[in-house]
Amino acid sequence: MNRIASLAFGALLMIAPAAAPTLLFADPSLDHPGEQTVDPYTPSNANAGARPMATQAMFEAFHGKEGISRIVDSFVDRNVADPRISDIFKNQDLVRLRRTLREQFCYLLDGGCDYTGRDMKSSHKDMGIQDADFNALVENLQWAMSKEGVPFRDQNRLLALLAPMHRDMVTK
């Protein structure tokens, strides 16, 4: 389906009656150039793995969307270069990963963003993530947040929000 036909189809779906079934993201690359196509799923903020903070003070502590973007870029770059976990990131859609992490962090930090990624369990299915891998991810995220100048107490508050996702990410 070409881009114009896809946009027209999307417009038709948007004006469908409220009783229409839940829409699925069939090809997010149409909205996000450079991303690979993924299997359809139902987008929802519930997929972010936690509820957002109740105050925008955390969003401000992370220096807003620009700070979150820098943290995500540093975090992904460090993970890709980290010999302990770099294999996990081989053949992954890093464009999509960066976008969905930005959305997730912005949503969780009450920055007014929506999370359009998949849920944590299906996102990490068959990746073979182990406890040591998860711990390396946490270390790398802490490094990226410190590099951005996020206060330690605020880093810990975000990590506490993310920690329960361990059960959905670690499979070995």
The two tokens of residue 103 are 């959305």
d(C-alpha 19, C-alpha 14), whole Å: 12
The two tokens of residue 164 are 């329960």
d(C-alpha 46, C-alpha 117), whole Å: 10
d(C-alpha 160, C-alpha 149), whole Å: 18
The two tokens of residue 83 are 């010999």
CATH class, 44-169 region: mainly alpha
- Would the CA dihedral through 144, 148, 149, 151 be positive or negative? negative
What DSSP designation does 35 have?
A: P
d(C-alpha 69, C-alpha 65), whole Å: 6
The two tokens of residue 70 are 């820098």
Contact 119, 47 (CB under 8 A): yes
CA angle 93, 80, 125 (to 5 degrees): 50
Q: What percent of the chain has pLDDT over 70?
A: 74
Tens of pLDDT along 145-168? 999 999 999 999 999 999 888 877
3-class DSSP string for 110-139: CCCCCCCCCCHHHHHCCCCCCHHHHHHHHH
Q: What does the domain layout of the chain look like in residue ranges? A: 1-42, 44-169
Residue 25: predicted pLDDT:
38
Residue 35: predicted pLDDT:
64
Tens of pLDDT along 40-93? 667 778 878 788 988 889 999 999 999 999 999 999 999 999 999 999 889 888
Residue 27: predicted pLDDT:
41
Contact 158, 145 (CB under 8 A): yes
